[in-house]
Amino acid sequence: LVDPFGGRRDLESGTLRVGVVIHIRGRTIDFGEWVESLEVNHAPATEVGPKDDFGLKVVDHTREHDVVFKVRS
């Protein structure tokens, strides 16, 4: 993994769970993947909500203004 936890993220609404598919898009990246790991306050989590300051494990380097989308199945 290039960027084990792709920085802190803010969730605008809903929840994000381990096992769902996300898509990350930015100026230099555009990829999708399964959520394999989440952290809240450096502790493992299986689900996060809008008020949680969380880290997200990703396979590529992400940047501050990259956008993470939850893919609907």
Tell me: pLDDT of 3 over 50: no
Q: How far apart are CA 52 and CA 31, in angstroms?
A: 24
Length of the chain measured in residues: 73
Q: How far apart are CA 7 and CA 73, in angstroms?
A: 25
Q: What is the pLDDT of residues 56-71, one digit of tens each?
A: 888 888 888 888 888 8
Against a cut of 0.85, is the pTM above it?
no
Tell me: pLDDT of 73 over 80: no
Q: What is the pLDDT of residues 9-67, one digit of tens each?
A: 567 788 899 999 999 888 998 999 999 999 988 899 999 988 888 888 888 888 888 88
